[in-house]
Amino acid sequence: MAKREQVTGAAGETFVLSALSGRGLAIPEKIGTPVKLITIPLDHIVPSLRPRYRNRLIATVVYGNKVSGDTRGLIAGSGRSVLVETKTVLDHNLRWSNLRKHQPGRLDAHAEAGGLSLLAWLHATGLYLMQWPVPGFGLRKSITPEQAASLDILDVTQCQ
């Protein structure tokens, strides 16, 4: 994933996180991606750059296990678990290929266990919150903003 896409995605996740409270989600919180910092010994750095880094700790990031979604929360009153996967795709339809390989399975498993799984799509035309599984969405399929608007959940407390 390109750096620009990561920045756009992170901004979208922050926006969606703040919007979820207004849609009835209690205690929304971002799920952090586990990372490890691995230090790089000075002798592994190109010799011409060693003087620049002599008194600094140099590390590389190694990502840990994949997380189930981007946001967790509860439905107030019932305490039902809510898992939200956020996609920030501003300029075209939301494609199945925009999901990473593990994401549909994690959303399915959460829903099958009795939780509420949601797909949040931030598009140039607005924020769409859809219950997972999304009808008509699958391999080699996409969702238009018009379809998403018809499926948009304004209050998660009303979901079955």
pLDDT for residue 149 = 97
**Contacts from 150-154 at CB under 8 Å and sequence distance 24+?**
152/128, 153/23, 153/118, 153/129, 154/23, 154/129
pLDDT at 88: 93
The 10 Å Cβ neighbour count of residue 86 is 24
pLDDT band at 2 (very low <50, low <70, confident <90, very high): low
- For the segment(s) 3-32+68-158, the CATH number from 3.20.20.70, 3.40.1350.10, 3.40.50.11720, 3.40.630.30 is 3.40.1350.10
Mean pLDDT of the chain: 86
Q: What is the pLDDT of residue 101?
A: 92
**Of 62 and 124, the one with more pLDDT:** 124
Higher local confidence (pLDDT), 96 or 76: 96
Rounded Cα distance, 118 and 103, in Å? 11
Q: What is the pLDDT of residues 88-102, one digit of tens each?
A: 999 999 999 999 999
The answer, as to whether pTM is greater than 0.85, is no
Which tens digits make up the pLDDT trace of 55-69?
A: 777 777 776 667 778
Pull the structure tokens for residue 26.
Answer: 């209690």
Adjacent-strand bridge partners of 61: 37
Residue ranges covered by each domain of the chain: 3-32+68-158, 34-66
